[in-house]
């Protein structure tokens, strides 16, 4: 943690910017975190994107080309041709594999060199080596790749959320350059273990819009009105949001998958427990937060499983599956997490109404953990970092990375959900907070052990 400055006007003693935490943030080949992440399957593209043209992508600092050939096989190959380095993004996708535009070498999806048409017909050159290739799996609209050592390739994990009865999955992810976050992957990943930011960043959106009426930079009003009237209104809105939030209980706990976030609040006679999963190393599952509890509910399904995928050390892309009830009309493609509307806003607009991208990208291209001052509400973030470090170090000791295992059938049990129990309020606010805390913990215990949630009463 940062050294605390103890005197006012002491910037002079706080100018050094220490190095970022290389162990947790750097993802290139051979780095500790990069090698750890490479032991898992990650989404690298979407079915909908692959047409006749190949797609150039960058994942964990490696430049690659992604394509689907005429046999509908997906290829993920080293970008630069093995012959003399021309980029295969300019190649021709054929029935079998992709052909380099420069001298026509043809590569199969597994890296086999099928043709070197300029070489003498009797040449066996092409049979003596492979082009770099990675295995892929296409699953419900997303394309996943495994980029680790072939001998350690794990099974593709199927989470039970992928098999929610009555729900269909809507794949999402925007890989166009303009949607790529210009910051390190961990900033996006750990944001999902930080529910407190909602109170300050997201929930006051409306209050900030109201404030525009008083902003000299928008309406031309006076600064006096801005500070004396506008900001006063804003403060009382924010106080209401904050007080509402203070009445809830937020906790984090390790789970067989990684971390469970427990968010417990009271709604009249009901206690609403919202559980979120952080699945190591970079998967998050969220339950709907705009949900109106009306009665007891054992299992309210999640709305999203999301992957944070490093492009390189300072760029990141997000992929998701959103869950939509089968009988409800839904947009066919999910909204990207970083919407074009947000990145097309003016700088001043972004200052007035900042969102996730403003908050996360501006932590620096790679956040410097040594300068942070982490408090009690950062427990989710510290827990994620701790598990990540443990995983990285275990791999370095030669251990296989810990992964979630399936418990029923083929699917891996996950815990994300909304749950509601009827439990009348305790006598005092303090006692009720304690009651909420205990209820949240009991719900987690029940869910982890596969018991009905009603046992948490």
Residue 93, interface with ligand FES (CB under 6 A)?
Answer: no
Shortest separation between residue 122's beta carbon and ligand FES, angstroms: 19
Q: Residue 418 — φ and ψ, nearest 5°?
A: -105, 135
CA proximity to 33, closest of 256, 258, 312, 317 = 312
- Please write down the long-range contacts of 28-35, taking CB distance under 8 Å and 24 or more positions apart: 28/60, 28/61, 28/62, 28/312, 28/313, 29/60, 29/61, 29/62, 32/392, 32/393, 32/395, 32/396, 33/388, 33/392, 34/60, 34/61, 35/148, 35/392, 35/395
CA angle 386, 275, 418 (to 5 degrees): 170
Shortest separation between residue 100's beta carbon and ligand FES, angstroms: 3
Shortest separation between residue 68's beta carbon and ligand FES, angstroms: 20
Give 106 or 193: the residue with its C-beta nearer to ligand FES. Answer: 106
Q: Of ligand FES, Fe ion, none, which one sits near residue 356, judging by CB under 5 to 8 A according to partner kind?
A: Fe ion
> Which of 103, 112, 168, 213 is the binder for ligand FES (CB under 6 A)?
103
Residue 403, interface with ligand FES (CB under 6 A)?
Answer: no
> Which of 14, 51, 84, 242 is the binder for ligand FES (CB under 6 A)?
84
**Other beta carbons less than 10 A from residue 125's beta carbon:** 10
Residue 98, interface with ligand FES (CB under 6 A)?
Answer: no
Give 190 or 313: the residue with its C-beta nearer to Fe ion. Answer: 190
How far apart are alpha carbons 125 and 446 in whole angstroms? Answer: 61
Per the structure block, which two tokens stand in for 94? 């054929």
SS3 call for 198: helix
Residue 81, interface with ligand FES (CB under 6 A)?
Answer: yes
Shortest separation between residue 170's beta carbon and ligand FES, angstroms: 38
DSSP 299: E
How far apart are alpha carbons 340 and 363 in whole angstroms? Answer: 21
Q: Of ligand FES, Fe ion, none, which one sits near residue 86, judging by CB under 5 to 8 A according to partner kind?
A: ligand FES
Q: Of ligand FES, Fe ion, none, which one sits near residue 29, judging by CB under 5 to 8 A according to partner kind?
A: none
Give 66 or 100: the residue with its C-beta nearer to ligand FES. Answer: 100
Stretch binding Fe ion (CB under 5 A), from 58-66, 87-95, 216-224, 356-364: 356-364
Q: Of ligand FES, Fe ion, none, which one sits near residue 315, judging by CB under 5 to 8 A according to partner kind?
A: none
Shortest separation between residue 44's beta carbon and ligand FES, angstroms: 23
Q: Residue 158 — φ and ψ, nearest 5°?
A: -105, 115
Give 119 or 356: the residue with its C-beta nearer to Fe ion. Answer: 356
Instruction: Output Rg (C-alpha) for the chain, integer angstroms.
Output: 25
Torsion of CA 26, 27, 32, 37, to 10 degrees: 140
Q: Distance between alpha carbon 127 and the CA centroid of its chain, in Å?
A: 41
CA proximity to 127, closest of 145, 112, 111 = 112
Give 55 or 263: the residue with its C-beta nearer to ligand FES. Answer: 55
Residue 356, interface with Fe ion (CB under 5 A)?
Answer: yes
Residue 112, interface with ligand FES (CB under 6 A)?
Answer: no
How far apart are alpha carbons 178 and 204 in whole angstroms? Answer: 27
Say if residues 155 and 411 touch (Cβ distance below 8 Å). no
Residue 102, interface with ligand FES (CB under 6 A)?
Answer: yes
Give 125 or 200: the residue with its C-beta nearer to Fe ion. Answer: 200
Give 71 or 84: the residue with its C-beta nearer to ligand FES. Answer: 84
Residue nearest to Fe ion (CB): 356
Judged by the rule CB under 5 A, the positions of this chain that interact with Fe ion are 356
Judged by the rule CB under 6 A, the positions of this chain that interact with ligand FES are 81, 83-86, 100, 102-105
């Amino acid at each position: 943690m940062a050294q605390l400055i103890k005197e006012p006007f002491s910037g002079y003693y706080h100018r050094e910017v220490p190095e970022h935490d290389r162990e947790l943030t750097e993802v290139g080949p051979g780095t500790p975190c990069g090698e750890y992440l490479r032991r898992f399957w990650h989404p690298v593209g979407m079915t909908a994107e692959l047409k006749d043209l190949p797609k150039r992508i960058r994942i964990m600092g490696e430049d690659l080309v992604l394509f689907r050939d005429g046999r509908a096989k997906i290829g993920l190959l080293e970008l630069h041709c093995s012959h003399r380095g021309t980029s295969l993004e300019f190649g021709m996708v054929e029935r079998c594999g992709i052909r380099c535009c420069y001298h026509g070498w043809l590569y199969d999806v597994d890296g086999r060199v099928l043709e070197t048409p300029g070489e003498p017909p009797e040449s066996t050159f092409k049979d003596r080596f492979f082009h770099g290739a990675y295995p892929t799996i296409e699953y419900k609209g997303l394309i996943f790749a495994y980029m680790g050592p072939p001998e350690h390739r794990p099974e593709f994990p199927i989470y039970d959320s992928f098999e929610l009865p009555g729900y269909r999955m809507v794949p999402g992810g925007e890989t166009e350059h303009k949607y790529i976050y210009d910051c390190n992957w961990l900033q996006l990943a750990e944001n999902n273990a930080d529910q407190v930011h909602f109170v300050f960043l997201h929930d006051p959106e409306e209050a900030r819009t109201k404030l525009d009426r008083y902003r000299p930079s928008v309406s031309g009003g006076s600064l006096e009105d801005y500070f004396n009237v506008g900001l006063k209104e804003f403060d009382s809105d924010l106080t209401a949001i904050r007080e509402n939030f203070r009445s809830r209980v937020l906790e984090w706990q390790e789970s067989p998958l990684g971390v469970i976030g427990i968010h417990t609040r009271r709604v009249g006679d009901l206690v609403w427990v919202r559980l979120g999963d952080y699945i190591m190393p970079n998967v998050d599952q969220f339950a709907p937060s705009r949900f109106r509890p009306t009665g007891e509910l054992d299992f309210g399904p999640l709305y999203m499983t999301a992957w944070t995928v490093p492009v390189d050390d300072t760029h990141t892309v997000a992929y998701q599956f959103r869950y939509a009830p089968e009988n409800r009309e839904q947009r066919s493609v999910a909204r990207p997490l970083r919407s074009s509307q947000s990145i097309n806003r003016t700088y001043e607009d972004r200052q007035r109404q900042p969102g996730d991208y403003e908050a996360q990208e501006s932590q620096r291209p790679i956040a410097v953990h040594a300068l942070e001052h982490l408090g009690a509400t950062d427990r989710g973030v510290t827990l994620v970092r701790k598990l990540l470090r443990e995983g990285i170090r275990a791999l370095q000791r030669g251990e296989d990375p810990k992964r979630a295992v399936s418990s029923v059938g083929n699917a891996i049990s996950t815990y994300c959900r909304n749950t509601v129990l009827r439990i009348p309020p305790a006598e005092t606010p303090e006692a009720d907070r304690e009651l909420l805390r205990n209820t949240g913990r009991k719900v987690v215990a029940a869910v982890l052990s596969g018991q009905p949630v009603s046992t948490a009463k």
